[in-house]
Amino acid sequence: MISASQLRLALLLILLVEGFFIQGWYRGQPEAIQEIDSKKAQFQTLERNLAGQQQKLDALRTQISQLKVQRTNKLQEFQTITGENIDWNAVLSRLLSAESSGARFLSVVAQPSGELTLEGIAISPEAPRTLLSQLTSISDVLDLQSLRWAQDNDPPSFTAIFRVRR
């Protein structure tokens, strides 16, 4: 059997070993607490940076949305101005080539929808008879919708409405 003195010695040895481990644990605890505090500070800094970056990201998203709206508006304006790809130069050149010595074209108004209004006057008595054939001669580019004469005016004036062929 184990004697009382051996038992005391074993208990003392166990207490010394536990004391050694507890002392090591207490020594390491401030370092662990300090490391935890350091990591918490780093985490809080990263959180603040992330919040700042999120605000910048939100501002950029807002700018992108605004730019997309502007781009859509500009595209619509461009399509309106260009009349959905109507070659107005070719159309107007062809129309103006139909002007004869009997009529003078005074104004041309083109709509983005492809409608074109021509106004002019007769400078010779045969213009009311010959203008219709001259205007239908350009039917490859323009469809004549109507031709109205104001015979009461001096000189007689006319308004022709066309639709651009596409």
The answer to whether residues 162 and 141 touch, using CB atoms and an 8 Å cutoff, is no
Q: Compute the distance between CA of residue 107 and CA of residue 120 in angstroms, rounded to an integer.
A: 7
What percent of the chain has a predicted confidence (pLDDT) above 70? 95
The three-state secondary structure class of 111 is coil
Under 8 Å CB-to-CB from 30, ≥6 apart: which residues? none
**Rg of the chain over CA atoms, in angstroms?**
47
How much is the pLDDT for 116?
Answer: 93
**CB neighbourhood size of 81 (10 A):** 9
150 vs 85, which has greater pLDDT? 150
The three-state secondary structure class of 100 is coil
Domain boundaries, the chain: 1-82, 88-164
What percent of the chain has a predicted confidence (pLDDT) above 90? 27
pLDDT of 153 above 80:
yes
CATH number for 88-164 (one of 3.30.56.10, 3.30.1360.100, 3.40.250.10, 3.30.565.10): it is: 3.30.1360.100
Q: Which of 147, 153, 152 is nearest to 131 (CA)?
A: 147
Strand blocks (E) in 7-134: 103-110, 115-122
Q: Compute the distance between CA of residue 61 and CA of residue 65 in angstroms, rounded to an integer.
A: 6
How much is the pLDDT for 8?
Answer: 84
